[in-house]
Structure 1
Amino acid sequence: MFLSRIRQFHASTIKFSDFTHVIIGGGIVGTAIAAELQQQPDCQVLLIEKNDNLGIETTSRNSEVIHAGLYYPPNSLKAKLCIAGKNKIYDAHRRGNFQVNLRNCGKWIVAQQDEEVEYLNKLANNAKELNVPVEFISTTKAKDKYPLIRAEKGILESPSTGIISAHDYLMFHEGGFENNEGTIALNSKVINIDYHSGIPEYKLTVSTENGEIEITSDNIINSAGLYAPEISNILLPKDRHYKSYFAKGNYFSYTAEKPLGKITDTLIYPCPNPNASSLGTHLTFDLGGQLRFGPDLEWLDIEKADDIDYTPNPKNLTNAFEAVKTYFPAITQSSLNPSYSGVRPKLISSTQSKLQFSDFIIKQEDGFPGFVNLLGIESPGLTASWAIAEYVKNIYY
């Protein structure tokens, strides 16, 4: 069907290219971009995914939180696109035509020390500048509401935080793309890209189950997630190559050893690490109410995404327990078990991340018209995905 679609399109259009846009990477961001572009007049979009299903890497390996956007610098893409993406999700949900399971449960960011209260004050000021709603909650009232949650010095509530089914959200965008006759190529890996400036046109060599094929496109969007630097480096000159860094986040399931009663129906976050390279090992839950903790932060000593081992690291359980115990003292170490892990695509090292904020990179590369790079699309990528799609569309239209 995929090869037939290429021939059919090529034969029925006056354009020379097989597609107007090829998107590399079928995670939530790539799929949302595909759906957005396919809605535009005269667009014929191909979404290429190397796995046998969409969204089985970073998209399916996160905490499924709808982030409010309060952590990021006001002029950053992370802030702008997170907030815009969050608003798109809630607006669609309110309209009632959005068949995606979600819950606007809110979250508490809890402080146990005076210096953490200072951090909460800075975070509240940042949220105010971003027009993200937050409010301080009395620790006494908090204790009455959730007696098992510890917050010695302060609590900042984020009422617009929520949780969402990442699978449902992916299916929403995939359905929109396919309903508008977009084309999806699974089990297809891009192994080379050439740019022919005289036409102009991009030629992609793609490895499929049936051998290598060549596809031409007017434009390319690199939304390959963990593999995005590798894809970018195929095309860009060596002095513009990107280096990949990988930060693993382990998640831990929770089974109480004895009944504790109601713990919380609000997400609980500790004060995060510097520059929000990690938001700390936090308490979340799924849409069924099952508690889980994570992610922690474990930098991987690897150079390529193919070398990632997604097995959750049991050695991190003790550190996770100690982190969680600061805000949930009743937890026992034996009630936690390694569950799953995800990996954040980073563009700066562990050392650099402690010194500077790392923003999304979304840009059309100089000298390669129509080639749009998306790099370092980590959290809040799930929340921001719909807004990222609109942002990319606006580069072209």
Structure 2
Amino acid sequence: MRILTLLLAALAMFAALPAQAERVRDLGTFDGVRPNQLTGYGIVVGLDGSGDDNFEYVTQAMRGVSGRLGLTLPPGVSPGLKNAAAVIVTAELPAFAKPGQTIDVTVSTIGRADSLRGGSLVLSPLYGADGQVYAMAQGNLAVGGLGVSGRDGSQVTVNVPTVGRIADGATVERAVATGFDSQGELRFNLHNADFQTASRMRDAINYRFPGSTRVVDGVTLSIVMPFGGDARAEMIAAIEMIDVTPAETPARVIVNSRTGTVVINSAVRLSPAAISHGRLVVRIQEDERIIQPEPFSRGVTAVEQASDVSFEAEETRLAMLDSGANLSEVVDALNMLGVGASDLVVILEALKQAGALQAEMVIL
């Protein structure tokens, strides 16, 4: 209860603060200036008996690897591959990455390998969504997990030993065309759709670069750019550092029913409402009594259940909220009622159903 009170009080304190100006670069990104996901299939070798053993797809992949190295396995031969594992390799290709640069890769098992510790990834191509190869990955894995097992089946696992990472493990082979230096206009996309924020950003950019920016919709602004990479980069750098005061976020209450977490933002308002909340606590205590028969009665010993039922009704208090009550007043009213996290969820849902809570409720 004390933790919930401190949380609500902190939210009320932040609610009283005025909106702060944010840099343009923190409110969105330029269209095309984004990372791209890469994925590929590979083989990790050099494991200490913790590999996939005789899985067919691992054997087939090893035949392909051996073939590229000039070694052909005889037909019908199925090598034991306890020291090899089939893996999925993933990476993120940054914007403007050029051939020859390196990126980090993550390697994860897809079979029954127990651990990738000590393994090395064989040269593997990484594909983009268009099916083209954009990078080649290879290197020794750094595994943060540890798995140990005994012959009797007991085992100890620390973190996840079936996932590893290779720093600078992939070399970029192909650049992604962004159209950065060829388009007459660049589009800027807000992280959160809001027409007021878009309008304020348009006015701020036009104040610095008159007539350059127009609003396309609640997310996108179109900015006229000069041609030439140098002039264009200078203009973008200046735009990204312009301060814009974003519009107040929509009123929203976030409820996590599994953990009992409730977050109320500063835009939440209440219509006039009276809140009364009380709880009834019922306690049932079960005891067993042994009953012995009378001497020479030929009876048998029996067990009798003895139940003690009691209840306690907590005092009900009433809190009144005036029209347009803000977050601070809501917090004060709920603290006066002494409600816990689970009770708070019930009260907020009841206020929403009564039409007194002017906010969107998001149940996680």
Q: TM-score, normalised by structure 1?
A: 0.20
Whichever structure has more strand as a proportion of its residues is 2
Q: TM-score, normalised by structure 2?
A: 0.21
Report which structure shows greater RCO (CA 8 Å, sep ≥6): 1
Mark the structure with the bigger radius of gyration: 2
